[in-house]
Copies of this chain bind each other. A is one copy, B any other.
Amino acid sequence: MYPKNTWYVACTPDEILDKPLGRQICGEKIVFYRGPENQVAALEDFCPHRGAPLSLGTVRDGQLTCGYHGLVMGCEGKVVSMPQQRVGGFPCIRRFPVVERYGFIWVWPGEPSLADAAQIPHLAWAVSPEWAYGGGRYHINCDYRLMIDNLMDLTHETYVHGSSIGQKEIDEAPVNTRLEGESVVTSRFMNNIMPPPFWRQALRGNGLADDVPVDRWQICHFTAPSHIMIEVGVAHAGQGGHAADPSVKVSSIVVDFITPETTTSHWYFWGMARNFKPEDTALTAAIREGQGNIFNEDREMLERQQMNLLAHPERRLLMLNIDAGGVRARRILDAHISAENAAENTPPA
């Protein structure tokens, strides 16, 4: 239920600092490590000698050595050497296309010949000194599409995140969903409302009054397979809202990369990119902590929702206007998956 010929965020550089990382992505058990010249490599996590996971091995000078009997594996999946053995005839293991970019390690779990690094989305905020980024990672036991639904319908903030970013006015503002090329965009604008606690803190952090009405916006951008960037912010009311001058607003981008592990679990990479006070690392840390707490509030709901859906496979869910973002995102995913299946079943000409 996920496309495989596409790029997913697999991990972050801090996860492969001094030893290999084993992680399952789209059902594939993969080992990630820094190979020759510090380039990230991704291989099947299976030693061809006796089936040990290579992720329990060691890396030295870009060489991955199996931690069981010392087989040395090359970054293309071909065995390099093994003590006292001739390895020429040893079977190879799968290698996965992998790219380090924008502070993330991206992996292509499908057919390697189709991988094109140019398809990795451009993240302007990740390469600009005017922006700062902080984020984290959660393992969530639900279908990655339930997380897409969650993020494409922010109505839930009123209920799940009532003490931080939720407020009743979210419910009352109309929501608009449209396709923009390959993106699904869902937006909501709430004018002349009082800011909720998270945004009051952000206003203060940016030196702005926090006890006055604001115009608030949420613009969710989905692109396949599961990248969601949400423009969020508040401006002092009546100054143009989303388009207001930076001196009267505070805004940022909620960054979400959602990577299927199995059909009912995923890795959730979350964070926030902001273009105010980018040099303030204490602020980055404070925002990261607050955001981590907020996103953790979704976990129980999502995991229990998953259990309910597994128990009731026959039930059809509603698709309201507020669900349109998730529904359209799924249509795009379904088209990707169908195209992959068709390609797999087409005999070569």
Contact = CB atoms under 8 A, between A and B. Distances in A.
B50 A305 contact: yes
A321 B86 CA distance: 11
Contact of A320 (B46, B85, B301): B85
B304 A50 contact: no
A70 B318 contact: no
- Tell me the number of copies of this protein: 3
B52 A308 contact: yes
Contacts of A83: 155, 158, 171-172
Contacts of A171: 70, 83-84
Interface string A71-103: 000000000001111000011000000000000
Contacts of A300: 56
A153 to B, nearest CB: 7
A288 interface: no
A304 B52 contact: yes
A86 B322 CA distance: 12
Contacts of A159: 57, 65-70
Most buried by B among A65, A149, A308: A308
Contacts of A85: 320-322
A72 to B, nearest CB: 11
A322 to B, nearest CB: 7
A323 interface: yes
Please name the 6 residue pairs, one residue from A and one from B, whose CB atoms are nearest each other, closest first.
A83-B171, A51-B308, A53-B304, A52-B305, A69-B155, A51-B309
Interface of A: 29, 45-46, 48-53, 56-57, 65-70, 82-85, 90-91, 149, 153, 155-156, 158-160, 171-172, 174, 300-301, 304-305, 308-309, 311-312, 315, 317-318, 320-323
